[in-house]
């Protein structure tokens, strides 16, 4: 009888010890399993492709403004230059630098024209020789657009400024800024009037 009681007590002690061990060990086991779960893989470029070669998906292009949009010989067509983009229509780093430089130059030219208009009440008499007096860092012309120069078309109420974002390979794209009184519009066309310079940069 006594031996049976001792046997039962011993079994109870062993079971209590097992329960205590599970209470202490089980949380560590669960935490250990959770820590070893694989983390989600970070987005990486395909093997053998550098990050600079990965391009973003195509985005909606601005409306076509030129002979392709209006047909050959159509009046009012705006000739457009080559667009400075790489594969997939995405500006490559070097092309983007030229694009940003051209935008900065046009922004400065817009400010110069606005100062002239504020002082004179119109754009009458405004031209390359007058503009360079306000900001000699900008080279102006009245002919066709050239890289590193700002071509201008002036009427008493409007000024249209055009330049080319010229890349290392000589391929660039037209950028324009049009001022019609107090309204300024931007676009990517070889524009000669404000209505042709639309769509933004």
Residue 141 contacts residue 134 (beta carbons within 8 Å) = no
Average pLDDT, the chain: 72
Q: Specify the higher pLDDT residue, 61 or 103.
A: 103
pLDDT over 50 (residue 13):
yes
Q: What is the CA radius of gyration of the chain?
A: 35
Q: Which two tokens stand for residue 105?
A: 């130059």
68 confidence band (pLDDT: 50, 70, 90): very low
Contacts of 135 (CB under 8 A, 6+ apart): 108, 109, 111, 112
Polymer length of the chain: 201
Among 179, 180, 181, 177, residue whose Cα is nearest residue 190: 177
Check whether 145 has a pLDDT greater than 60: yes
CB count within 10 Å of CB 2 equals 6
Mean pLDDT of the region 59-82: 39
Residues 4-20: what's their mean pLDDT?
76
Residue 80 per-residue DSSP state: -
**100 pLDDT above the threshold of 50:** yes
| Predicted local confidence at residue 62, as pLDDT | 39
Q: Where are the domains of the chain?
A: 1-38, 63-196
- Does pLDDT of 142 surpass 90? no
Q: Pick the residue with more confidence: 80 or 147?
A: 147
């Amino acid at each position: 009888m006594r031996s049976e009681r001792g046997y039962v007590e011993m079994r109870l002690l062993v079971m209590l010890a097992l329960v205590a061990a599970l209470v202490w060990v089980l949380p560590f086991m669960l935490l250990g399993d959770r820590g070893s779960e694989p983390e989600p893989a970070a987005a990486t470029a395909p093997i053998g492709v550098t990050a600079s070669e990965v391009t973003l998906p195509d985005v909606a292009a601005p409306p076509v403004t030129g002979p392709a949009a209006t047909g050959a010989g159509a009046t009012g067509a705006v000739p457009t230059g080559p667009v400075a983009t790489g594969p997939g229509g995405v500006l490559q780093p070097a092309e983007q630098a030229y694009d940003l430089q051209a935008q900065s130059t046009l922004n400065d030219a817009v400010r110069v024209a606005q100062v002239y208009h504020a002082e004179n009440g119109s754009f009458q008499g405004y031209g390359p020789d007058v503009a360079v007096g306000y900001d000699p860092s900008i080279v102006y012309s009245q002919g066709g657009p050239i890289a590193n120069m700002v071509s201008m078309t002036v009427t008493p109420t409007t000024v249209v400024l055009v330049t080319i974002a010229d890349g290392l390979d000589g391929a660039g794209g037209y950028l324009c800024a049009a001022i019609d009184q107090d309204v300024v519009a931007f676009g990517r066309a070889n524009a000669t009037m404000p209505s042709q310079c639309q769509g933004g940069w």
